[in-house]
Amino acid sequence: MRKLALFGAALVAAVAGSSSAAIVVYNFSMDGLQEVPAVVTTGNGQATVTLDTVSGAVSVTGTYQELIGTVTASHIHGLAAPGSNAGVIVTLNHTGGSTGTISGNGVLTATQIQGMLDGLTYVNVHSTFKAGGEIRGQVVPAPASLALLGLAGLAGRRRR
């Protein structure tokens, strides 16, 4: 039990120490249900966004598959909460037609950095089927990461 408590404390310390780090990494899924308005599509994807909170440097890598249309563009958009649309912040590159990859990088302003940290940005993949976007993913921490933080807090508690 003591080892578990020590492990939990070390994990909490590591997580707490990383909260002041300049690099934040987001892993999330993309689908038509996140589009505004929602899009019925077989398409889906996954993306990773890496943000340097000091310099504003942001990079994106991801994959998409089974789109109904052929990809015409992809971007980071913001600032907008889920259920809202916003303008382009960073233009991304894409390879492939209905299945492929997205990638790119740019530099965010201080306001855009805070917006990304607040969950107000999204990655959108546009296609010939839906010019406004066939799949979208809000740039937010993965649920598994949030659960891990919660478990770390519980592991560090002592039983009385």
- Could you write out the DSSP letters of every residue in 103-148? EEEEE--HHHHHHHHTT-EEEEEEESS-TT-SEEEE----HHHHHH
What is 22-141's CATH topology?
A: Immunoglobulin-like (2.60.40)
The amino acid that residue 118 corresponds to is D
Strand partners, 28: 47
**Predicted pLDDT of residue 158:** 43
How high is the pLDDT of residue 143?
Answer: 62
Q: Locate 39 and state its tokens.
A: 């899009």
pLDDT, tens digit (0-9, with 9 covering 90-100), for 92-135 = 999 999 999 999 999 999 999 999 999 999 999 999 999 999 99
pLDDT at residue 155 in the model = 43
Query: What is the four-CA torsion angle of 141, 142, 144, 146, rounded to 10 degrees?
Result: 20
Per domain, the residue ranges of the chain are 22-141
